[in-house]
């Protein structure tokens, strides 16, 4: 069933586990994520950003698809606009029925980020859509932004930001970055800062740049308070590598079976991920719990 992202993350926050948010740009990826969730009794977040929507994952096509797939399963699924930066696309997604929008004002001044986030929260909340904000800045791995602690999130500033804006979840900068890290590099995360952020904010926290972090970092990040982990690069690599693998196994494979092969590989990747971040078996099917989140 399609639910607000906030309801998923409140539960994860209360019970201290992480939920995967996979950038899913076609039916194979969306169905892989949602099927994995159903099989693992796990919540799941399907998301895409403005660039991905513009090029391929058009919201007019993807939204009805994700809604239909979500309504067929017993586990909670949210659909999120990732990295919304301007009002027009954010309001379009809210009107479309996205159950969360992210406003990424992390490249703006603190004051500008604060006031725009507050406006977007008022707009989204009036129709029951939740909002993810970002404070500090999660940059690009290729620029080694993960090592720049000047970009990291300050807990006291974050507290004031959340009190003023009313955002439902906060993306925090603690040492990850988007995209592929240089070869053999595992980022070093600032877990003390994360612990402090959780203690101060006591709300759902989001880790962007989940790809390439390594299992140990992911587990520790969840332990110290991360509840949503964004994954794009690694998921796209799994899909791409599946193509090579399928051709190696059977050079005559046709397109239909190639699509099925890719979907299965992505599904397996998501299922493994759910075990790492502890979201599996949180929603075992039970008539009496069907509409609830406890």
Residues involved in catalysis: 82
Distance CA 129, CA 5 (A): 8
Which DSSP string do the residues of 228-294 spell out, in sequence order?
EEEESHHHHHHHHHHHHHHHHH-TT--HHHHHHHHHHHHHHHHHHHHHHHT-TTSS---GGGTT---
**Which residues are within 8 A (CB) of 202 and not within 5 positions of it... i.e. 6 or more apart?**
13
Single out the residue of 127, 130, 209 nearest to residue 172, CA to CA.
209
Site string for ligand 13P, 230-259 (x = CB under 6 A): xxxxx-------------------------
Name which of 31 and 208 has its Cβ closer to ligand 13P: 208
Q: Minimum distance between the CB of residue 151 and ligand 13P, rounded to whole angstroms? A: 14
Check binding of 84 to ligand 13P (CB under 6 A).
no
Strand 77-84 with 44-48, pairing? parallel
Question: Which of the stretches 188-196, 202-210, 246-254, 275-283 binds ligand 13P when contact is defined by CB under 6 A?
Answer: 202-210
Site string for ligand 13P, 22-61 (x = CB under 6 A): -x--------------------------------------
**Which residues are within 8 A (CB) of 240 and not within 5 positions of it... i.e. 6 or more apart?**
none
Q: Minimum distance between the CB of residue 206 and ligand 13P, rounded to whole angstroms? A: 9
Check binding of 137 to ligand 13P (CB under 6 A).
no
Single out the residue of 212, 208, 218, 257 nearest to residue 236, CA to CA.
212
Kindly determine how many residues on this chain lie close enough to bind ligand 13P according to the rule CB under 6 A. Answer: 14
- Among 175, 187, 210, 225, the residue binding ligand 13P under the rule CB under 6 A is 210
Site string for ligand 13P, 94-113 (x = CB under 6 A): --------------------
Q: Give the three-class secondary structure for 224.
A: coil
Distance CA 266, CA 240 (A): 10
**Which residues are within 8 A (CB) of 107 and not within 5 positions of it... i.e. 6 or more apart?**
137
Question: Which of the stretches 25-33, 87-95, 109-117, 229-237 binds ligand 13P when contact is defined by CB under 6 A?
Answer: 229-237
Distance from the Cα of residue 271 to its chain's centroid: 15
CB atoms within 10 A of CB 260: 13
Q: Minimum distance between the CB of residue 212 and ligand 13P, rounded to whole angstroms? A: 7
Check binding of 179 to ligand 13P (CB under 6 A).
yes
- Among 99, 211, 217, 227, the residue binding ligand 13P under the rule CB under 6 A is 211
Residue numbers of the site for ligand 13P (CB under 6 A)?
A: 23, 82-83, 178-179, 208-211, 230-234
């Amino acid at each position: 069933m399609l639910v607000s992202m906030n309801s998923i993350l409140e539960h994860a926050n209360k019970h201290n586990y992480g939920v995967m948010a996979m950038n899913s740009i076609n039916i194979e990826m969306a169905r892989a994520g949602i099927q994995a969730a159903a099989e693992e009794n796990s919540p799941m977040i399907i998301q895409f950003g403005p660039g991905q929507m513009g090029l391929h994952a058009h919201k007019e096509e993807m939204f009805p698809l994700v809604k239909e797939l979500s309504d067929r399963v017993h586990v909670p699924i949210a659909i999120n606009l990732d990295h919304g930066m301007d009002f027009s696309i954010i309001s379009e997604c809210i009107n479309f029925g996205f159950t969360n929008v992210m406003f990424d004002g992390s490249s703006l001044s603190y004051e500008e980020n604060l006031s725009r986030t507050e406006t977007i929260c008022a707009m989204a909340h009036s129709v029951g859509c939740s909002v993810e904000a970002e404070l500090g800045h999660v940059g690009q791995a290729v620029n080694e932004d993960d090592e720049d602690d000047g970009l990291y999130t300050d807990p006291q500033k974050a507290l004031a930001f959340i009190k003023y804006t009313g955002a439902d979840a906060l993306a925090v900068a603690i040492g990850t970055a988007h995209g592929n890290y240089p070869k053999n590099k595992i980022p070093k995360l600032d877990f003390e800062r994360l612990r402090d952020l959780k203690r101060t904010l006591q709300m759902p926290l989001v880790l962007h740049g989940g790809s390439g972090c390594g299992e140990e970092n992911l587990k520790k990040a969840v332990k110290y308070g991360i509840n949503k982990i964004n994954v794009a690069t690694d998921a796209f690599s799994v899909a791409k590598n599946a193509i090579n693998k399928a051709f190696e196994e059977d050079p005559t494979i046709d397109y239909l079976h190639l699509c099925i092969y890719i979907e299965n590989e992505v599904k397996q990747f998501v299922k493994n991920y759910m075990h790492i971040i502890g979201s599996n078996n949180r929603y075992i099917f039970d008539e009496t719990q069907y509409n609830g989140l406890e």
